[in-house]
Amino acid sequence: MEKPLPPLVPGTLYLVATPIGNLEDVTLRALRTLRECDLVAAEDTRHTGQLLHHFAISKPLLSYFQFNEARRSEEILDRLGRGEKIALVTDAGTPGISDPGERVVRAALARGFRVEAVPGPCALVAALTSCGLPTDEFHFAGFLPHKSGQRRRLLEGLSQTRGTLVFYESPYRVVKLVEELASLWPRRPVVLARELTKKFEERLQGTPTELLERLKTRSLKGEFVVLVGPQPEPEGEREEDVRSGPSDDLPEQASRVS
């Protein structure tokens, strides 16, 4: 016999991940949290209202976005103090990952309130795990600065960072970003992932120069996840590693299978 799921805890802020495109990616726990909470704080109440309507959920909505975070955070904390159960959502994906959420989470924890993640869809994870680049170590930098000088300095500072680099970028600036990657790291493998989990999901892979040629003939729509793999080893070093492998130098006895 299955045990009943525990009820939501009063005075708790729930960070609820919502679909980034495909509505089937919503989790059962996310739906239960949205049904049982007292209030949904949303980046765009119209967008979230459509999501709730699709799943036949009716809840009060409170707008919480970049330009009203300070004021709304205080209101959310006051409601938590009265024992309300509040779900925080963004337009798509996981709150706090290049979306509003960090400020109210930090404030809630400082006041001693409980904060609980309801994990689920995240464009960063979806792109990274399906791109074919190394996943054991990566650095996520979110959206890069709009000004070219600031963006260039940030990229230069990441030159020695280990693992795969991951950025978010809009369709209006992605070509400029790839041009800068071609200037800084012409040999590093790059993957452009867009429309993840949607009908026209697509990944373009190649060196920055190769991708620039392909982008010239495409209509760029949807936000991009840009992934940059580690610098390839020079051909000479790889050949030297093969020639100096331990198998040629081992005594004959050591190479036998016991």
Which amino acid is located at 46 in the chain? R
pLDDT of 235: 65
Same domain as 130, residue 109 = no
pLDDT of 122: 97
Does the residue 188 lie in any domain? yes
Same domain as 34, residue 132 = no
CATH number of the domain residue 132 falls in: 3.30.950.10
Q: Which residues contact 125 (CB under 8 A, 6 or more apart)?
A: none
CATH number of the domain residue 44 falls in: 3.40.1010.10
pLDDT of 147: 93
Same domain as 117, residue 135 = no
Same domain as 134, residue 228 = yes
Q: Structural domain tally of the chain?
A: 2
Same domain as 224, residue 155 = yes
For residues 203-233, one letter each, b for 16 or more C-beta atoms within 10 angstroms of the residue's C-beta and e for the rest, the string is bbbebbeebeeebeeeeeeebbbbbbbbeee
Give pLDDT < 70 ranges for the chain.
Answer: 1-2, 235-258
Same domain as 16, residue 111 = yes
pLDDT of 237: 52
* Residue-number span of the structural domain to which 80 is assigned: 12-121
Instruction: Output the six-digit token pair for 117.
Output: 């993640």
